[in-house]
Structure 1
Amino acid sequence: MFFEKQTDEKQEEYINLLKVVASLSKLFSESNIPYLYYRAAENIFCKALNAQNLSRGDISFDAFKGEFGIGLKTFIHGNGKKYEKVAEFNKDIDKFRDLDGKGAVYKIAELRNNRIAATQRAHGTTKMIYHMVTRKDSQFEIHEEEMNYIDSGTIKIDKKKTNDKNIFFRDKYHQYKFYIAKSTLYKQFICDKPIAVFDVDMLDDPFDFLLTDDSQKYYATHGHDEHLKQVCLPLYSARAGKVKKKSGLNFWNASTQKRERDNDEVYIPIPSWIHKQFEGFFPYNRYTEEKESFTLVFPNGEEIDAKICQSGGKGLMSNPNKILGEWILRTVLQIPVGQEVTYEDLDRVGIDSVIITKLEDYRFKINFATKGSYGDFEQEFKQ
């Protein structure tokens, strides 16, 4: 699928990095099964295989490269049949709280599919896979399988297994269970056809290794974005808690007789506290209102010109101003021309924020973040 299409050199680098990190397993456990922290697995995958790391956005893909959207998993192999978490719906609980088991499953399927579709549209991917590293006694296996939409037409509830804690169901592709208390969806992964198998030598005394020069060479496996500055911006008015009718994503709707606006003219709201708390993040001077243009990189690699707009720097806009709107309104949200955007439109696809990452002084990238991300960001950083 994906891994076998990478060069031999890249495959070897990936496996070697996994081996080195797993060799330190006895820092954490005396088990013969190697330890691999999931964040380390994500960072190693993206570093070795030149994929973009999406894990911090908490969307349907953990990484993507070219036409592939990729979900990354690592878990103990066991009997090769393992339920693993693929989605959480805590912030959507009001949508299925009062439904019976069958109704809840169909609603979860709808929400899950909407999220995947929006992520695909945002990144321009045509293929979706899961890439798994499973762990056995002193050994790793690599597996891959297709990531599928849940097929609502073939859903069947397993009444024998279902209880007051979990709803078990399947479609024509996979087995699932929905953990009711945590509003979490699990998918069963069948790992019986590895595409790579390799031994892991766990160091008896990993502390000695950490003091050597070799450890520095291999432990530069952190994600590139970990060292980059980021801010999270809401796609709605944070003060009003909704998408306003004539600003933000509906700025196109603010046409007047003197100023006709393009149907795709939008800006992304920037709450004023961000310019204070993260002063100098954007090329914008909040004292003089001086604004300089910069490059904004879309998830699919497309680059556009952008700038801070509005009095007080309250928005991020593309130049020409319709490019950002075409992408957000038409490609990702699929809003018909002339229809006002509401918070419900964002809620439908499970996103209400964007993450802006500063790559260089005049170069930034943008990606979507799940519903509630801006609220969490504000709570953590606003003073």
Structure 2
Amino acid sequence: MNNLHINNEYLELLKIMSSLSGLFSDSNVPYLYYRNAENLFCHALKAKNLSRDDTAFDALLSVENQNIGIGLKTFICSRQASIEKVAEFNQLSKTFQSNNSKELAKMIADARNQRILFAKRMYGIEKAIYHLVTRRDEELRIFEENYDLININQITVTRKTESSLSFSDNLNDYTYNFSKSTLFKKFIIPQQYHSIPVKIISEPYELLLNLKNTLENKNNIQQNQKPQVVLPLYSTRRNNVEKHSGLNQWNANGRKRSLDEVYIPIPKFIHNNYSNFFPPRDQPFSLITPDNQVLSAKVCQENSKALMSNPNSALANWLLRQLLNLNEGELATMERLELMDCDSVIITKLNNNEYKIDKAKFGAYREFSNT
């Protein structure tokens, strides 16, 4: 793939970071922690960091008004290929049940595709690529390749053992590990790549000591952490998606309802512990989605138990149609949330009138309410 997404600042920072490998390893192979690689890429390329959102992509890059989803990978590769993790299906793995190896491969492939499509809808992604930084003795090799959906119609099983299932779709090779519930993909270093020679500093600690005065004299200004809460997309009382409320409010009994009638539950835990987070009941505020839609929202219903939009169809279009890919009249279920790896959302308070909504990792509300 030509026209790598790199610039001079990115290359220099990679080189500097890798030269400090002696802080962590005695190897001649540069050490680069994957979180550092993600943060470095987003800083230098002015990309949005998605790595904490637990979606199929690690970064969102806007180039000439086109949103590009980036899968960032860094790994040691002394040969011409390496098998690397691309997805985990901890919640969903129990549904991968079939005695037919090809059918099992198709189930796994479909789940992978659904996660990719979910992330594309969420961020308005039009193109997707892998950006790879591979490491070998005193060198980094950077290349990119297409971030493909798995072609389910072209799947062939290449190997099946008690521990794993390997298959190909005529574009890429994959291996699913049963015990780890993890899907791996084979990455092949192409003939054309960008090479960065790395000279690892033999005494990096002296360099750190020389920075001491600079660090002490610099003002330690930290940006205030924006307040956040996590809201579940399911009923916390029943640990399930209710058929007649919440995401399925449109299906409630009684009066005739619009198929777009929906709300996100706000549990009592939120009001009891974060009483000043949301505006008062029925007071409108802006709610910004990850793809920069601005919804008019408010807290409403008895006991301020619901987060809704005005019109209600705005939240339904974003949450039910765009993210969960549900048709009108199709019930949201816990199984659907598991498939999309999304049972919660994060609400960030920017100011008293503006809030952001983002996907949270699966199980995030349980973790948040137990802290």
Give the TM-score normalised by structure 1. Answer: 0.85
Contact 2:281 2:304 in 1 (8 A): no
Aligned partner of residue 60 in structure 2, secondary structure: strand
Alignment of 1:135 onto 2:135: yes
Give matches, 1:51-62, under 5 Å.
51-62=47-58
Other-structure match for 2:207: 209
Give SS of 1:243's match.
Answer: coil
Q: State yes or no: 1:368 paired with 2:364.
A: no
**How much does 1:360 deviate?**
4.1
SS at match of 2:161: coil
The CA distance in 2 between the partners of 1:35 and 1:251, in whole Å, is 51
Deviations 1:11-68 (A, max 9, x none): 1121222223223211111111111111111111112112111111211111112321
Question: 2:31 matched to 1:35?
Answer: yes
Partner of 1:311: 302
Q: Please tell me whether the aligned partners of residues 23 and 204 of structure 2 are also in contact (alpha carbons under 8 angstroms).
A: yes
Shift of residue 349, structure 1, vs aligned partner? 2.7
The 8 Å contact of residues 281 and 298 in structure 2, kept in 1 or not, is answered as no
Worse-matched range after superposition: 293-302 or 29-38: 293-302
Q: 1:210 to 1:59 in 2, by over 3 A?
A: same
Residue 168 of structure 2 is matched in structure 1 by: 170
Contact conserved, 2:343 with 2:363, CA < 8 A, in 1? yes
Q: Which letter does structure 2 place at the counterpart of 1:345? A: R
Q: Return closer, same or farther for 1:2/1:356 CA change in 2, 3 Å cut-off.
A: farther
1:264 aligns with 2:260: yes
> What SS does the aligned partner of 2:360 have?
strand
Residue equivalent to 1:15: 11
Say if 2:41 and 2:47, in contact at 8 Å, map to a contact too.
yes
Question: Is 1:322 paired with 2:310?
Answer: no
Q: Structure 2: how far apart are the matches of 1:53 and 1:233?
A: 21
Unaligned runs of 5+ residues in structure 1 are 217-223
Instruction: Decide whether aligned partners of structure 1 residues 266 and 290 sit closer, same or farther in structure 2, where only a CA change above 3 A counts.
Output: closer
- State the aligned residue count: 363
CA RMSD between the two structures = 2.9
The DSSP-based 3-state class of the residue aligned with 1:351 is: coil
Matches within 5 A, 1:349-360: 349-360=340-351
Structure-1 separation of matches of 2:272 and 2:238: 20
Quick check: 263-272 or 122-131, which moved more? 263-272
Aligned to 2:234: 236
Amino acid at match of 2:80: G
Which segments of 5 or more consecutive residues in structure 2 lack a partner in the other structure? 216-222
- Alignment partners' CA distance in 1, 2:174 and 2:41: 26
Deviations 1:274-312 (A, max 9, x none): 2333443x234xxxx556433322111222232222333
Deviation at 1:184, TM superposition (A): 0.6
CA distance in 2, matches of 1:214, 1:307: 50
Q: Percent of counterpart pairs with the same letter?
A: 43
Give the CA deviation at 1:345: 2.8
Deviations 1:301-338 (A, max 9, x none): 22223222233332222233321111111222232223
Q: Does 1:190 align with 2:181?
A: no
Whole-Å separation in 2 of the counterparts to 1:366 and 1:191: 38
